[in-house]
Protein backbone atom coordinates (compact mmCIF):
# COMPACT_ATOMS: atom_id res chain seq x y z
CA UNK A 1 0.00 0.00 0.00
CA UNK A 2 1.12 3.51 -0.71
CA UNK A 3 -0.40 5.08 2.40
CA UNK A 4 1.86 5.27 5.44
CA UNK A 5 0.48 2.84 8.03
CA UNK A 6 2.61 4.48 10.72
CA UNK A 7 1.00 7.85 10.10
CA UNK A 8 -2.44 6.29 10.11
CA UNK A 9 -1.71 4.45 13.35
CA UNK A 10 -0.50 7.71 14.92
CA UNK A 11 -3.65 9.54 13.81
CA UNK A 12 -5.86 6.75 15.12
CA UNK A 13 -3.97 6.56 18.39
CA UNK A 14 -4.36 10.30 18.88
CA UNK A 15 -8.09 9.97 18.22
CA UNK A 16 -8.96 6.87 20.25
CA UNK A 17 -6.03 6.25 22.56
CA UNK A 18 -5.24 2.65 23.40
CA UNK A 19 -8.33 0.95 21.96
CA UNK A 20 -7.22 -1.40 19.17
CA UNK A 21 -10.77 -2.55 18.41
CA UNK A 22 -12.01 1.00 17.87
CA UNK A 23 -8.87 1.86 15.87
CA UNK A 24 -9.55 -1.15 13.64
CA UNK A 25 -13.15 -0.06 13.11
CA UNK A 26 -12.05 3.46 12.21
CA UNK A 27 -9.43 2.14 9.80
CA UNK A 28 -12.06 -0.04 8.10
CA UNK A 29 -14.38 2.97 7.93
CA UNK A 30 -11.56 4.99 6.34
CA UNK A 31 -11.09 2.44 3.55
CA UNK A 32 -14.86 2.16 2.99
CA UNK A 33 -15.23 5.94 2.82
CA UNK A 34 -12.23 6.29 0.53
CA UNK A 35 -13.67 3.68 -1.84
CA UNK A 36 -17.01 5.50 -1.87
CA UNK A 37 -15.36 8.85 -2.59
CA UNK A 38 -13.14 7.40 -5.32
CA UNK A 39 -16.25 5.91 -6.95
CA UNK A 40 -17.95 9.33 -6.71
CA UNK A 41 -14.92 10.92 -8.33
CA UNK A 42 -14.97 8.38 -11.15
CA UNK A 43 -18.71 8.93 -11.72
CA UNK A 44 -18.68 12.73 -11.48
CA UNK A 45 -20.40 14.21 -14.49
CA UNK A 46 -20.13 17.89 -13.59
CA UNK A 47 -17.08 19.88 -12.52
CA UNK A 48 -18.68 20.72 -9.15
CA UNK A 49 -19.27 17.01 -8.43
CA UNK A 50 -15.67 16.22 -9.37
CA UNK A 51 -14.26 18.94 -7.11
CA UNK A 52 -16.52 17.99 -4.22
CA UNK A 53 -15.45 14.33 -4.40
CA UNK A 54 -11.77 15.27 -4.66
CA UNK A 55 -11.86 17.71 -1.74
CA UNK A 56 -13.80 15.29 0.47
CA UNK A 57 -11.28 12.58 -0.32
CA UNK A 58 -8.43 14.97 0.45
CA UNK A 59 -9.98 15.83 3.81
CA UNK A 60 -10.49 12.18 4.69
CA UNK A 61 -6.90 11.39 3.73
CA UNK A 62 -5.58 14.29 5.80
CA UNK A 63 -7.60 13.17 8.82
CA UNK A 64 -5.98 9.75 8.72
CA UNK A 65 -2.44 10.72 7.78
CA UNK A 66 -2.70 9.17 4.30
CA UNK A 67 -0.30 11.67 2.73
CA UNK A 68 0.03 10.09 -0.72
CA UNK A 69 -3.75 9.87 -1.03
CA UNK A 70 -4.06 13.47 0.12
CA UNK A 71 -1.59 14.57 -2.56
CA UNK A 72 -3.39 12.54 -5.25
CA UNK A 73 -6.78 13.91 -4.19
CA UNK A 74 -5.41 17.46 -4.24
CA UNK A 75 -4.14 16.91 -7.78
CA UNK A 76 -7.55 15.51 -8.73
CA UNK A 77 -9.25 18.62 -7.42
CA UNK A 78 -7.17 20.73 -9.78
CA UNK A 79 -7.55 18.38 -12.78
CA UNK A 80 -10.19 18.22 -15.46
CA UNK A 81 -13.24 16.16 -14.52
CA UNK A 82 -13.08 12.61 -15.81
CA UNK A 83 -9.30 12.52 -16.21
CA UNK A 84 -8.63 8.77 -16.12
CA UNK A 85 -4.94 9.20 -15.32
CA UNK A 86 -5.84 11.22 -12.24
CA UNK A 87 -8.43 8.66 -11.15
CA UNK A 88 -5.85 5.91 -11.60
CA UNK A 89 -3.35 7.88 -9.50
CA UNK A 90 -5.91 8.28 -6.73
CA UNK A 91 -6.68 4.56 -6.80
CA UNK A 92 -2.96 3.71 -6.76
CA UNK A 93 -2.50 5.88 -3.66
CA UNK A 94 -4.87 3.67 -1.68
CA UNK A 95 -4.05 0.25 -3.14
- pLDDT at position 1 over 50: no
pTM of the model: 0.81
pLDDT score, position 4: 58
Average pLDDT estimate for 29-38:
94
Average pLDDT over all residues of the chain: 87
Task: Give dist(CA 84, CA 67) in Å, integer.
Answer: 21
Of 9-23, 32-46, 81-95, give the lowest mean pLDDT range.
9-23
Helix axes 5-16, 20-43, angle to 10 degrees: 120
Is residue 62 predicted with pLDDT exceeding 70?
A: yes
Give residue 19's pLDDT. 76
Q: Is the dihedral of CA 51, 8, 2, 68 positive or negative?
A: positive
Amino acid sequence: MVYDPGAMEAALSAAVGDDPALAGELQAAFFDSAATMIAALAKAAAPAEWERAAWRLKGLAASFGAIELMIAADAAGRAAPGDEAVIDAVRAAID
